[in-house]
Amino acid sequence: MQIITLFPIVSALLLALAANAEVYFKEQFLDGDAWKTRWLNSEHKSDYGQFKLTAGNFYGDAEKDKGLQSSQDAHFYATSARFEPFSNEGKPLVIQFTVKHEQKIDCGGGYVKVFPADLNQADMHGDSQYYIMFGPDICGYSTKKVHVIFNYKGKNHLIKKDIKCKDDELTHLYTLILNPDQTYEVKIDNEKVESGSLEEDWDFLPPKKIKDPEAKKPEDWDDRAKIDDESDTKPEDWDKPENIPDPDAKKPDDWDEDMDGEWEPAVIPNPEYKGEWKPKQIDNPNYKGIWVHPEIDNPEYSPDAEIYKFDNIGVIGLDLWQVKSGTIFDNFFITDDVKEAEDFGNETWGATKGPEKKMKEEQDEKKRKEEEEKNKEQSTEADEGEEEEDEGEEEEEEEDETDESPEEEGDPDALPKDEL
């Protein structure tokens, strides 16, 4: 009975909790051209690529799936949107958006950067200081990863784990969760792909322990497990020549000593040769084991419970380079509530992914049939004796991949630069 009477109260409480979710930023591009008043293109360079609003070549919903699409090949892009500044102190921070590389991306960024509110948006560029960089990055076959970069005390730190990103042409949902207990989680399509702790998975702090600089291996430390057996001696008959004259060799009948010189038989390896003599090995009675360098607490290390904290979050931006353009960014969502973000992901990406895939498959099937028809016609024409070049192959597949992402892997300072 009590459970039943409590139920409305509990639900009301849950509702209240859900309603408490703070949504700092939400952008679905549902109001036509109005996004242009919210997103500001950087003027740091004069030739940034243009984003256009479109749902692309295939989609689940012609209106809802409209997002910002990069529209010029081999261009840098730099645009950003502002929101009421906030601090994530003591609260989770969730950054989420969708990416669709419908162009079969060869090389280009698909990530967002989250900036301090004092960013000069009109001058945003590759070196502008940011708090967080998150999302997929693809270049050739070797780079297909999800970046998770945090700025800590003015320096950018890359995650040490390798997180693979999606590389197909469909829309995918990327979510980063940063918790005040200094743990994090990365989700793709609302499923966890990586998680852990900030301290372990990035090099924010110097190591906790270091080798004691005072400690040295004692001079008389014997780390030889085996030694020569002193009582062992070389047998008298050990030494034999390594090579001997071939006993089967015969002087050829027509050998002329005047002409050919003195005949000598060829040499062959001596079957009795035993190599260099070495004494037997015995256990070393003085063996002390491998010397282990003692460690001490690193005086440079001091724990920091606020690595996760960003005081003045206020701008989200797309600052990236693309060789083959066509990527669509949509459904940006920044909140302090993990479930709210999951819900939003379900309502947006979750609702349109099925129909989108279906439309794509139908288009692919139609294309395949057209190719087939074309090839059939051509082979009939060829049979009729006409010479015909085979144009059935897509020539667009061969894209130049020499353009490298402006990013150098592994080096935390080598972040996307637009001044190359």
Ligand X SMILES: *[C@@H]1O[C@H](CO)[C@@H](O)[C@H](O)[C@H]1NC(C)=O
Binding site residues, ligand X, CB under 6 A? 190, 339, 342-343, 346, 350
Output the smallest distance, CB 341 to ligand X, in A: 9
Do residues 205 and 182 make contact, with C-beta atoms less than 8 angstroms apart? no
Identity of the residue, 191 or 384, whose beta carbon is nearer to ligand X in the bound complex: 191
Identity of the residue, 202 or 344, whose beta carbon is nearer to ligand X in the bound complex: 344
Output the smallest distance, CB 26 to ligand X, in A: 16
> Binding site annotation covers 113?
yes
- Closest residue to ligand X using C-beta atoms: 346
Output the smallest distance, CB 24 to ligand X, in A: 19
Strands (DSSP E) contained in 199-266 are: 209-211, 226-228, 243-245
The encoded tokens of residue 121 equal 């948006």
Identity of the residue, 339 or 374, whose beta carbon is nearer to ligand X in the bound complex: 339
> Binding site annotation covers 111?
yes
> Binding site annotation covers 322?
no
Taking CA 35 as the corner, what is the angle to CA 29 and CA 37, rounded to the nearest 5 degrees?
Answer: 160
Quote the CA–CA distance of 162 and 146 in Å, as a whole number: 8
Output the smallest distance, CB 366 to ligand X, in A: 30
Identity of the residue, 243 or 346, whose beta carbon is nearer to ligand X in the bound complex: 346
Quote the CA–CA distance of 402 and 107 in Å, as a whole number: 10
> Binding site annotation covers 280?
no
Output the smallest distance, CB 344 to ligand X, in A: 9
The encoded tokens of residue 351 equal 């609702």
The encoded tokens of residue 93 equal 């921070």
Q: Name which of 398, 393, 397 is nearest 375 in CA terms.
A: 393
Output the smallest distance, CB 100 to ligand X, in A: 19
Do residues 280 and 232 make contact, with C-beta atoms less than 8 angstroms apart? yes
> Binding site annotation covers 64?
yes
Identity of the residue, 18 or 305, whose beta carbon is nearer to ligand X in the bound complex: 18
Identity of the residue, 158 or 177, whose beta carbon is nearer to ligand X in the bound complex: 177
Output the smallest distance, CB 192 to ligand X, in A: 12
Identity of the residue, 140 or 350, whose beta carbon is nearer to ligand X in the bound complex: 350
Quote the CA–CA distance of 336 and 92 in Å, as a whole number: 5
The Cα-based distances of 189 to 8, 63, 97 in angstroms read: 33, 21, 10
Instruction: Give me the phi and psi of 16, to 5 degrees please.
Output: -60, -40
Do residues 69 and 50 make contact, with C-beta atoms less than 8 angstroms apart? no
> Binding site annotation covers 319?
yes
Beta bridge partners of 152: 155
> Binding site annotation covers 28?
yes
The encoded tokens of residue 415 equal 């972040």
Numbered residues of the known binding site: 28, 64, 66, 111, 113, 130, 137, 319, 330
Numbered residues of the known binding site for an alpha-D-glucoside: 111, 113, 130, 137, 319
Numbered residues of the known binding site for Ca(2+): 28, 64, 66, 330
